[in-house]
Structure 1
């Protein structure tokens, strides 16, 4: 009966061109579907298909994490796009049709810290997994760490809520070999004084509130009675050393980080950029770094070279003016000391920026240089000091730093982490300035020497007691 049906179909096809066309389209669609199915389940060129499956779980609870994005990315064949999937309701995922080779598997989801398979701790890289033809069905587990949050309110001395206060979460970081507090996230208080800083990595934090008085409307000229809110470190400190350190565990949603801001007298600074009479109009901004905070303020410089800052509490403030004219770029920097009155004629004297040209060399002949960057960091304590510049090193090792303000700097080279290289020498005009501050007064050359002659350190961490 089947033979009879096939014979009849063959007769119809041969006698009617329309039937022939329909049959051809049906066969083509069938072959396309088979090819697509084969492409998702097996690699090209007849290589063995490998399937990698696993589960994404919460580190703290061990519960599965649904709707997490997982990425299987090959290390050996970078031309092949990564395989991306979403976990199901049980946190399970599958990456099909993988070729043999080394892969890194990562997972992420809102509310969690991104993590890689094999990671030994928070923020640490994972380990690659090698897929071979004799291991066609690998199963792994990726553990995600839940992010944390802090919540609170901001009040004035009268108990009323304060709107538009900037609250920052700060963490200790090492910068140029020193431990400093750096901002990681911020929020602003609403009309009820409420704020929430979310998506914080578990760890130790300091929280600071600042009304940013220097952005308030300026007072009348000569008026010294203006008041502003004092920058406050939780719970009620005026310095970072007086702050309470908050320990946030994975998934913590900490309430009660409340501030009561006190008022203080604040003052204005009015000044000008020193320049010859009849000079062309200026275009630029004046940047101010707030003391004991990690915040900056910026105000435009008028075409006639005058500027105003207001709402400043007593203290020392680094200032830098960055200006652009038809003749090029220039800068002016100084420290303004605010005590108990307004300053009405503060003068900044411009200096012409200089250019530093350099070359990165390697002691390992024939070995390609890593993708590095070079930075001049303005010398001084803390962050927020204006004037730092950076650039990327070209493939031949050459680099150029433009717009360098004549002042004191420290040199840093980035991009060496994970490579075999370290910075062995940094010679400025022939003098080795590695790990020390130096003055830049004119355009100079810098020669950097990278060495691959590194050692290794091994050890064991044991629990005390």
Structure 2
């Protein structure tokens, strides 16, 4: 702070909580060689115990103050347009920060260094060298997502202007894949197709004596990655430093042949039910990486059961149909059909999908408690089946119906692999209810996915909530006994069979400035606890990463409802 030569002006906005006597005050400065205050930055303070969320704006001198705070531990983060958001105490961008411990009547002073965002700019052209006006250009980076290293757009995108020029700002330092996608206004409709023509085609069309030439094969401007490939894995990486502007990243959209996909949908009881919907779902190799629903196309079904998709680029797809059969004699029944296809430029015709009933999942909600009363209205409980992706495409079924006694039914479940979870308002709050287990056909679907077979008639489940989940708290210290807040702690199950993406048994926390840490809502079991100096976000979802931690980890057991306190020392 001594290097900051600014007048001592009051903050623009002093936020007072009025429930305590503590204060957190500080200054936001630019993370540059020349340290300067950052004015009008947004500073957010949050805490779960006590539950507090406050926001303020730095003054012209970069200072901020949160007053009237109760004792507790508070997380502070800073953001500003064109800059990179960062949490106080984070060792690197996009890493967790360090909580600020605060005693009653104490004033804590902190400094947050806010990094400038980098910029990638260039131009994108169509196949004839003209500006590709309106093209969406995205900067994507490889992240660890659900145990796999995948491209993710992170919301970093821009639209090419009338010159084809794009400018993506607010990027963190690192390596990026730059990709562009363009869709005409008629995309997905049957009224128009894009054809590649030459000057000779135009002369023949204008000639009154020449017979009309056949139309060339329909084409599309494919999603293209710099420097000019349609395959994301073959893209060149564009590297930027903090605050750097990287220009000249120009490339041309590639042309690919497109095809029409046609088929019929039928139901053994007769014609296809009204309201049937057919969806064409692209695999990850076809869909634009990290863009939700980019690879999804839907169409209705004609009265004769036929359906058609236009302008389909080469690649692997899943054709998925869904409908509901209604009958006066029974409740509506969900129907489904699915097949995988390969599109290689030629039309795909003659597909035949036959609808079949989905599987029904039935079960019971249970509340195992020593001190809490179950919720009065069980309609607020939400049961969710989460498809486990295995390279194909799966759609999640609709929600469950729950009666007053806790019996539930979820119909129309499509064959595949799933995990089952449940929630309701207030679930997971310290001292409240927590989800203990979801037993499906004898196995806990909170930990291990279960399989719904194509010919299964039903599956049975018991979902149990409890007020006796385990907790692990303590303090992390270095060899000299001082707080070691620069580390992250990773807790993971001793059994490698439970090292699965989105596992509730795998948690990562960053100790607060005084070294205190807490893992909550832990199922009973054997665990490893490891301290790491720097871990890429999501790295703990990778079994190979966890295996590397085993040798340096502490093994411990948590019994049901145990509130365990564990002191840990790192270093020599």
* TM-score, reference length from structure 2: 0.59
Give, in whole Å, the separation in 2 of the partners of 1:286 and 1:307: 10
The 3-state SS of whatever aligns with 1:154 is strand
- 1:292 aligned partner: 286
* TM-score, reference length from structure 1: 0.71
Which segments of structure 1 move beyond 6 Å, counting only runs of 4 or more? Answer: 39-42, 359-369, 398-401, 412-419, 422-426
Do the aligned residues in 2 keep the contact of 1:56 with 1:91 (CA within 8 Å)?
yes
- Match for residue 530 of structure 2 among 437, 458, 461: 458
Aligned pairs for 1:35-434 within 5 A: 43=18, 49-61=21-33, 62-78=35-51, 82-133=53-104, 135=106, 137-185=107-155, 186-212=157-183, 215=188, 217-219=191-193, 225-275=217-267, 277=270, 280-289=273-282, 291-294=285-288, 295-304=294-303, 305-324=305-324, 326=326, 327-357=332-362, 375-381=385-391, 385-388=393-396, 402=410, 404-411=412-419, 428-430=440-442
Give, in whole Å, the separation in 2 of the partners of 1:190 and 1:300: 32
Pick closer, same or farther for the CA change 1:210–1:98 going to 2, 3 Å.
Answer: closer
Do the aligned residues in 2 keep the contact of 1:356 with 1:446 (CA within 8 Å)?
yes
- CA offsets 1:165-204 (integer angstroms, 9 cap, x no match): 3433333233442222233234443443233334444433
Give, in whole Å, the separation in 2 of the partners of 1:168 and 1:368: 50
Give the CA deviation at 1:260: 1.4
Pick closer, same or farther for the CA change 1:111–1:400 going to 2, 3 Å.
Answer: farther
Give, in whole Å, the separation in 1 of the partners of 2:28 and 2:444: 50
Give, in whole Å, the separation in 1 of the partners of 2:250 and 2:167: 11
Give the CA deviation at 1:366: 8.3
Give the CA deviation at 1:242: 0.8
The two structures, once aligned, show a CA RMSD in angstroms of 4.5
Pick closer, same or farther for the CA change 1:113–1:352 going to 2, 3 Å.
Answer: farther
Do the aligned residues in 1 keep the contact of 2:141 with 2:151 (CA within 8 Å)?
yes
Do the aligned residues in 2 keep the contact of 1:85 with 1:93 (CA within 8 Å)?
yes
Give the CA deviation at 1:319: 2.0
Which structure has greater helix proportion?
1
- CA offsets 1:123-176 (integer angstroms, 9 cap, x no match): 2332332333463x3321123233334323221332112234343333323344
Give, in whole Å, the separation in 1 of the partners of 2:409 and 2:31: 45
Pick closer, same or farther for the CA change 1:233–1:279 going to 2, 3 Å.
Answer: closer
The 3-state SS of whatever aligns with 2:50 is coil
Larger radius of gyration, structure 1 or 2?
1
**Runs of 5+ unmatched residues, structure 2:** 1-13, 195-213, 289-293, 327-331, 375-380, 465-521, 535-572
Give the CA deviation at 1:42: 9.1
Give, in whole Å, the separation in 2 of the partners of 1:308 and 1:74: 53
The 3-state SS of whatever aligns with 2:530 is coil
Give the CA deviation at 1:374: 5.3
Pick closer, same or farther for the CA change 1:365–1:262 going to 2, 3 Å.
Answer: same
Give, in whole Å, the separation in 2 of the partners of 1:224 and 1:350: 36
Give, in whole Å, the separation in 2 of the partners of 1:424 and 1:266: 50
Aligned residues: 412
Do the aligned residues in 2 keep the contact of 1:315 with 1:337 (CA within 8 Å)?
yes
Do the aligned residues in 2 keep the contact of 1:314 with 1:339 (CA within 8 Å)?
yes
Do the aligned residues in 1 keep the contact of 2:265 with 2:272 (CA within 8 Å)?
no
- Shifted more, 350-359 versus 231-240: the winner is 350-359
Pick closer, same or farther for the CA change 1:130–1:157 going to 2, 3 Å.
Answer: closer
